[in-house]
Structure 1
Amino acid sequence: MSVTIECQKRPEMSKSRALRSEGLIPANLYGHDGANSVHLVVKRKEAESLLRHAAANKTIVEVNIPDLSWQGTTVIREVQTHPWKGTIYHLSFFAVDKPED
């Protein structure tokens, strides 16, 4: 099963708490360009919907980043949540090579 999500590049010097109050979830994408990583934001509703249909380290997620003109296959590596509220704090995506058919 493959799921698609659209992310935006995270503004420079933005605070995570301020982003969350605006309805955005901070995220990172690792391995899209070698050893480099990129800081992203995802809309809260899209992140919650994604996590209803995807499991960490198991589900292939198609990530689209229009700001960087990048689209690729990733896997959710880590989901950080509030300890007792269960709200999403942070997502980590790892880029993977597309399986050859």
Structure 2
Amino acid sequence: MKEINVAGQKRTDLGKKASKMLRKEGMVPCNLYGHATENGKPVALAFACKMSELRKLVYTPHIYVINLQIGGQDHTAILKELQFHPVTDALLHVDFLEVNDQKPITIGIPVKLNGLAQGVRDGGRMNLSIRKINVTAPYQNIPEHLDIDVTALQLGKSIKVGELNFEGLEIATPKDVVVCSIKMTRAAVSAAAAAEETENEPEA
């Protein structure tokens, strides 16, 4: 995965009122969940980041390993959850998950379809059903995207998660989930019908 640096500042004033004030100042309330627990539940480090810092991380199709600097301390993390305003789509809150070399993580990786499918050559339309597949692995082994060769995919056929295999990665998305398929179009139906008529024509 690509790396990105994000700076934040610790916050001690919590609650809705404090969060609202932060947002007015162009800051976004954040939590970092690490390996510390209290009564069996994860303990979060509360901090805030400038919206300008988060924009490059949030509004992108890429996934990143994040080098977080909070109050002079460095943390390695990934995005855990984003919360947006239901009406304005403004970013309200971000949760980060701290990672290390030993413990595998589960994360959604973007799908990249490679090749021109046979079904598309025959007039069909490629339909991408899911944009990310969840995988589990040490964060150093996580790729930027998952390459899937669709060259041999024919009309009416699909590729399911269970048919895929990526070295060093354990797939966490259910096996029966369809990744992509070739849908029949009117052009493909017309071409198939014309081909069938040609085959059935009597020889002169």
**Which interval holds the TM-score relative to the shorter structure?**
0.7 to 0.9
SS in 1 for 2:22: helix
2:44 matches 1:37: yes
Q: CA RMSD in A?
A: 2.2
Q: Distance in 1 between matches of 2:61 and 2:6?
A: 11
- With CA pairs under 8 Å and 6+ residues apart, which has the higher RCO, 1 or 2? 1
Q: 1:9 to 1:79 in 2, by over 3 A?
A: same
Q: Distance in 2 between matches of 1:12 and 1:52?
A: 27
Match of 2:181 in 1: none
Match of 2:57 in 1: 50
Unaligned 5+ runs, structure 2: 38-42, 102-138, 142-204
Unaligned 5+ runs, structure 1: none
Q: 1:52 to 1:100 in 2, by over 3 A?
A: closer
Give the % identical residues.
26
2:86 matches 1:83: yes
Match of 2:107 in 1: none
- Give the deviation of 1:81 after TM superposition: 0.5
Moved over 4 A (4+): none
Match of 1:97 in 2: 100
Equivalenced residue count is 96
Q: Which is higher, the Rg of structure 1 or of structure 2?
A: 2
* Contact residue 33 and residue 98 of structure 2 kept, 8 A: yes
* Contact residue 3 and residue 61 of structure 1 kept, 8 A: yes
Q: 1:54 to 1:11 in 2, by over 3 A?
A: farther
SS in 2 for 1:27: strand
2:64 matches 1:63: no
* Contact residue 3 and residue 64 of structure 2 kept, 8 A: yes
